[in-house]
Protein backbone atom coordinates (compact mmCIF):
# COMPACT_ATOMS: atom_id res chain seq x y z
CA UNK A 1 0.00 0.00 0.00
CA UNK A 2 2.86 2.36 0.85
CA UNK A 3 4.50 1.95 -2.57
CA UNK A 4 1.19 2.56 -4.32
CA UNK A 5 0.73 5.83 -2.46
CA UNK A 6 4.27 6.89 -3.26
CA UNK A 7 3.68 6.09 -6.92
CA UNK A 8 0.51 8.16 -7.01
CA UNK A 9 2.31 11.09 -5.44
CA UNK A 10 5.11 10.92 -8.00
CA UNK A 11 2.56 11.02 -10.81
CA UNK A 12 0.61 13.95 -9.35
CA UNK A 13 3.51 16.09 -8.26
CA UNK A 14 4.34 17.10 -11.83
CA UNK A 15 0.89 18.67 -12.14
CA UNK A 16 0.44 20.68 -8.93
CA UNK A 17 3.45 22.67 -7.76
CA UNK A 18 2.13 26.22 -7.58
CA UNK A 19 -1.04 26.20 -5.43
CA UNK A 20 -1.54 23.67 -2.64
CA UNK A 21 -3.94 23.57 0.30
CA UNK A 22 -3.17 21.81 3.56
CA UNK A 23 -5.74 20.07 5.76
CA UNK A 24 -6.52 22.01 8.90
CA UNK A 25 -5.83 19.09 11.27
CA UNK A 26 -2.07 19.64 11.08
CA UNK A 27 -1.78 22.11 13.94
CA UNK A 28 0.44 19.86 16.04
CA UNK A 29 3.25 20.04 13.50
CA UNK A 30 5.59 23.01 13.24
CA UNK A 31 7.88 24.12 10.43
CA UNK A 32 10.19 27.08 10.28
CA UNK A 33 11.60 28.56 7.08
CA UNK A 34 12.79 31.93 5.89
CA UNK A 35 10.26 34.16 4.16
CA UNK A 36 11.30 35.25 0.68
CA UNK A 37 10.33 38.75 -0.32
CA UNK A 38 10.45 40.64 -3.58
CA UNK A 39 11.90 44.14 -3.63
CA UNK A 40 9.14 46.25 -5.12
CA UNK A 41 11.59 49.03 -6.00
CA UNK A 42 13.96 46.74 -7.91
CA UNK A 43 14.79 48.22 -11.30
CA UNK A 44 13.65 46.30 -14.35
CA UNK A 45 15.87 46.43 -17.41
CA UNK A 46 14.31 47.58 -20.63
CA UNK A 47 13.64 44.58 -22.84
CA UNK A 48 15.07 46.17 -25.97
CA UNK A 49 17.59 43.40 -26.62
CA UNK A 50 16.94 39.73 -27.19
CA UNK A 51 17.94 37.41 -24.36
CA UNK A 52 19.61 34.39 -25.93
CA UNK A 53 20.65 32.57 -22.76
CA UNK A 54 21.05 33.21 -19.03
CA UNK A 55 23.44 32.55 -16.18
CA UNK A 56 21.96 30.56 -13.29
CA UNK A 57 23.04 30.40 -9.66
CA UNK A 58 21.99 27.74 -7.17
CA UNK A 59 20.19 28.64 -3.96
CA UNK A 60 19.94 25.68 -1.58
CA UNK A 61 17.82 25.56 1.55
CA UNK A 62 17.18 22.84 4.10
CA UNK A 63 14.01 22.61 6.13
CA UNK A 64 13.46 20.43 9.19
CA UNK A 65 9.94 19.52 10.30
CA UNK A 66 9.34 18.63 13.94
CA UNK A 67 6.34 17.41 15.85
CA UNK A 68 4.87 19.08 18.94
CA UNK A 69 7.41 17.39 21.17
CA UNK A 70 10.30 18.70 19.10
CA UNK A 71 11.13 15.39 17.49
CA UNK A 72 12.38 15.56 13.92
CA UNK A 73 9.98 13.82 11.53
CA UNK A 74 11.04 15.24 8.19
CA UNK A 75 14.00 16.77 6.35
CA UNK A 76 13.52 18.60 3.05
CA UNK A 77 16.29 19.98 0.85
CA UNK A 78 15.43 22.28 -2.05
CA UNK A 79 17.84 23.47 -4.73
CA UNK A 80 16.33 26.57 -6.32
CA UNK A 81 17.59 27.96 -9.66
CA UNK A 82 18.10 31.72 -9.61
CA UNK A 83 18.50 33.48 -12.95
CA UNK A 84 20.87 36.45 -13.08
CA UNK A 85 19.48 39.66 -14.55
CA UNK A 86 16.67 42.14 -14.02
CA UNK A 87 14.52 41.90 -17.11
CA UNK A 88 10.80 41.47 -16.55
CA UNK A 89 11.01 37.95 -17.99
CA UNK A 90 13.81 36.87 -15.67
CA UNK A 91 12.05 38.31 -12.63
CA UNK A 92 8.91 36.41 -13.63
CA UNK A 93 10.80 33.11 -13.88
CA UNK A 94 12.61 33.67 -10.59
CA UNK A 95 9.29 34.42 -8.90
CA UNK A 96 7.88 31.18 -10.35
CA UNK A 97 10.58 29.14 -8.60
CA UNK A 98 10.24 31.16 -5.39
CA UNK A 99 6.54 30.32 -5.25
CA UNK A 100 7.20 26.73 -6.25
CA UNK A 101 9.64 26.33 -3.38
CA UNK A 102 7.00 27.46 -0.88
CA UNK A 103 4.41 25.10 -2.40
CA UNK A 104 6.81 22.14 -2.41
CA UNK A 105 7.62 22.63 1.27
CA UNK A 106 3.91 22.61 2.09
CA UNK A 107 3.44 19.43 0.06
CA UNK A 108 6.36 17.77 1.82
CA UNK A 109 4.99 18.83 5.20
CA UNK A 110 1.67 17.17 4.35
CA UNK A 111 3.50 13.99 3.27
CA UNK A 112 5.48 13.88 6.50
CA UNK A 113 2.37 14.41 8.63
CA UNK A 114 0.44 11.68 6.82
CA UNK A 115 3.31 9.21 6.92
CA UNK A 116 4.01 9.65 10.62
CA UNK A 117 0.31 9.45 11.52
CA UNK A 118 -0.12 6.19 9.57
CA UNK A 119 3.07 4.51 10.77
CA UNK A 120 3.30 5.64 14.38
CA UNK A 121 4.76 2.29 15.37
CA UNK A 122 7.86 3.14 13.37
CA UNK A 123 9.07 5.64 15.95
CA UNK A 124 12.39 6.32 14.26
CA UNK A 125 11.12 7.04 10.77
CA UNK A 126 12.15 10.38 9.27
CA UNK A 127 10.61 11.38 5.95
CA UNK A 128 13.21 12.85 3.58
CA UNK A 129 13.06 14.57 0.22
CA UNK A 130 15.59 16.42 -1.89
CA UNK A 131 14.73 18.33 -5.04
CA UNK A 132 17.66 19.11 -7.32
CA UNK A 133 17.67 20.46 -10.86
CA UNK A 134 19.50 20.29 -14.17
CA UNK A 135 19.53 22.89 -16.93
CA UNK A 136 18.86 20.79 -20.03
CA UNK A 137 18.45 23.64 -22.54
CA UNK A 138 19.67 27.24 -22.34
CA UNK A 139 20.04 28.92 -25.72
CA UNK A 140 18.13 30.44 -28.65
CA UNK A 141 15.96 32.38 -26.21
CA UNK A 142 14.62 29.35 -24.34
CA UNK A 143 15.40 27.80 -20.99
CA UNK A 144 14.44 24.32 -19.78
CA UNK A 145 14.97 23.17 -16.21
CA UNK A 146 14.45 19.54 -15.21
CA UNK A 147 13.98 19.06 -11.48
CA UNK A 148 14.56 15.65 -9.93
CA UNK A 149 13.33 14.64 -6.49
CA UNK A 150 13.53 11.55 -4.32
CA UNK A 151 11.11 11.17 -1.42
CA UNK A 152 11.56 8.48 1.21
CA UNK A 153 8.73 7.56 3.55
CA UNK A 154 10.09 4.26 4.85
CA UNK A 155 10.38 0.81 3.32
CA UNK A 156 12.97 -0.67 0.98
CA UNK A 157 13.40 2.42 -1.16
CA UNK A 158 12.01 5.86 -1.85
CA UNK A 159 10.26 7.19 -4.94
CA UNK A 160 11.89 9.42 -7.56
CA UNK A 161 9.90 12.12 -9.33
CA UNK A 162 10.47 14.85 -11.88
CA UNK A 163 9.17 18.34 -12.58
CA UNK A 164 10.08 19.94 -15.91
CA UNK A 165 9.43 23.50 -17.08
CA UNK A 166 10.43 25.36 -20.25
CA UNK A 167 10.41 29.17 -20.47
CA UNK A 168 10.68 31.87 -23.11
CA UNK A 169 13.54 34.03 -21.87
CA UNK A 170 12.14 37.14 -23.54
CA UNK A 171 8.60 36.99 -22.19
CA UNK A 172 8.94 34.87 -19.03
CA UNK A 173 6.03 32.73 -20.17
CA UNK A 174 6.10 28.97 -19.84
CA UNK A 175 6.39 27.09 -23.11
CA UNK A 176 3.84 24.29 -23.39
CA UNK A 177 3.92 21.27 -25.64
CA UNK A 178 1.30 22.80 -27.94
CA UNK A 179 3.69 25.74 -28.38
CA UNK A 180 6.52 23.47 -29.51
CA UNK A 181 4.73 21.37 -32.13
CA UNK A 182 2.31 22.42 -34.85
CA UNK A 183 0.10 19.38 -34.39
CA UNK A 184 -3.42 18.63 -33.27
CA UNK A 185 -3.67 16.86 -29.92
CA UNK A 186 -4.58 13.60 -31.68
CA UNK A 187 -1.51 13.94 -33.89
CA UNK A 188 0.59 14.69 -30.82
CA UNK A 189 -0.63 11.50 -29.17
CA UNK A 190 0.25 9.40 -32.20
CA UNK A 191 3.65 11.08 -32.56
CA UNK A 192 4.58 10.39 -28.94
CA UNK A 193 3.31 6.80 -29.19
CA UNK A 194 5.42 6.18 -32.30
CA UNK A 195 8.51 7.54 -30.52
CA UNK A 196 8.02 5.18 -27.57
CA UNK A 197 7.22 2.22 -29.82
CA UNK A 198 10.47 2.82 -31.69
CA UNK A 199 12.34 3.01 -28.39
CA UNK A 200 10.72 -0.20 -27.12
CA UNK A 201 11.83 -2.08 -30.22
CA UNK A 202 15.40 -0.79 -30.06
CA UNK A 203 15.86 -1.39 -26.32
CA UNK A 204 16.78 -5.06 -26.13
CA UNK A 205 18.16 -4.85 -22.59
CA UNK A 206 14.97 -3.81 -20.77
CA UNK A 207 11.61 -5.43 -20.18
CA UNK A 208 8.43 -3.35 -20.26
CA UNK A 209 4.88 -4.11 -19.16
CA UNK A 210 2.85 -5.94 -21.79
CA UNK A 211 0.48 -2.99 -22.04
CA UNK A 212 3.22 -0.31 -22.06
CA UNK A 213 2.46 0.96 -25.56
CA UNK A 214 -1.27 0.89 -24.84
CA UNK A 215 -0.62 3.02 -21.75
CA UNK A 216 1.28 5.57 -23.83
CA UNK A 217 -1.51 5.77 -26.41
CA UNK A 218 -4.06 6.34 -23.63
CA UNK A 219 -2.12 8.96 -21.70
CA UNK A 220 -0.01 10.88 -24.24
CA UNK A 221 -1.37 14.34 -25.10
CA UNK A 222 -0.46 18.02 -24.88
CA UNK A 223 -0.15 17.61 -21.09
CA UNK A 224 2.53 14.92 -21.33
CA UNK A 225 5.65 15.78 -19.30
CA UNK A 226 8.64 16.74 -21.45
CA UNK A 227 11.91 18.59 -21.39
CA UNK A 228 14.16 20.08 -24.04
CA UNK A 229 17.70 18.97 -24.80
CA UNK A 230 20.17 20.13 -27.42
CA UNK A 231 19.11 17.19 -29.60
CA UNK A 232 15.36 17.13 -29.22
CA UNK A 233 12.21 17.01 -27.10
CA UNK A 234 12.37 14.25 -24.50
CA UNK A 235 9.16 12.68 -23.14
CA UNK A 236 9.23 10.56 -20.01
CA UNK A 237 7.18 8.27 -17.78
CA UNK A 238 7.80 7.64 -14.10
CA UNK A 239 8.91 4.32 -12.55
CA UNK A 240 6.11 1.72 -12.53
CA UNK A 241 4.24 3.47 -15.38
CA UNK A 242 5.70 1.40 -18.21
CA UNK A 243 8.15 -0.92 -16.45
CA UNK A 244 9.39 -2.04 -13.04
CA UNK A 245 10.92 0.32 -10.50
CA UNK A 246 14.47 -0.72 -11.35
CA UNK A 247 14.03 0.49 -14.95
CA UNK A 248 13.67 4.04 -13.66
CA UNK A 249 12.23 6.77 -15.87
CA UNK A 250 11.36 5.61 -19.37
CA UNK A 251 12.19 8.18 -22.05
CA UNK A 252 11.73 8.69 -25.77
CA UNK A 253 13.06 11.62 -27.80
CA UNK A 254 11.77 13.40 -30.87
CA UNK A 255 14.90 14.80 -32.52
CA UNK A 256 14.81 18.31 -33.97
CA UNK A 257 16.73 17.25 -37.06
CA UNK A 258 14.17 14.67 -38.15
CA UNK A 259 11.05 16.58 -37.08
CA UNK A 260 11.63 20.08 -38.48
CA UNK A 261 8.37 19.94 -40.40
CA UNK A 262 6.27 19.71 -37.21
CA UNK A 263 8.26 21.99 -34.89
CA UNK A 264 6.51 25.31 -34.33
CA UNK A 265 9.50 27.12 -32.80
CA UNK A 266 12.14 27.63 -35.54
CA UNK A 267 14.90 28.39 -33.02
CA UNK A 268 14.77 24.81 -31.70
CA UNK A 269 15.46 23.35 -35.13
CA UNK A 270 18.54 25.50 -35.79
Whether the CB-CB separation of 80 and 58 falls below 8 Å is answered with: yes
What helix, strand, coil percent values describe the chain, rounded to 5? 30, 30, 40
Sheet holding 72-83, edge to edge: 29-31, 56-67, 72-83, 127-139, 142-152, 159-168
- pTM confidence score: 0.81
Q: What's domain 177-269's architecture?
A: Alpha-Beta Complex (3.90)
Quickly count: other Cβ atoms within 10 Å of residue 32's Cβ: 8
Homologous superfamily in CATH for domain 2-168: Fervidobacterium nodosum Rt17-B1 like (3.30.565.40)
d(CA 200, CA 204): 8
The pLDDT of residue 17: 45
21, with CB counted inside 10 A (0-12, 13-18, 19+), is exposed
Q: Give every residue of the chain whose pLDDT is below 70, as ranges.
A: 1-49, 120-123, 269-270
| Domain spans, the chain | 2-168, 177-269
The pLDDT of residue 261: 94
Handedness of CA 246, 248, 252, 256 (dihedral sign): negative
Quickly count: other Cβ atoms within 10 Å of residue 180's Cβ: 21
The pLDDT of residue 69: 83
Amino acid sequence: MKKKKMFLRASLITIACAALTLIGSCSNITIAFATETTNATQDIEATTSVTDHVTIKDNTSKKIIKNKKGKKIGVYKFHKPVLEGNTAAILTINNFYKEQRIAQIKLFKADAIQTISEFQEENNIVVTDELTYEVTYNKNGYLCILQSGYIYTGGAHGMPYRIAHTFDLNTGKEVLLKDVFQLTEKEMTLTIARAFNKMFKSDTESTYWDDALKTVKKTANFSSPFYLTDKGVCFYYSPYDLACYARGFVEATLHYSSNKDIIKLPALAE
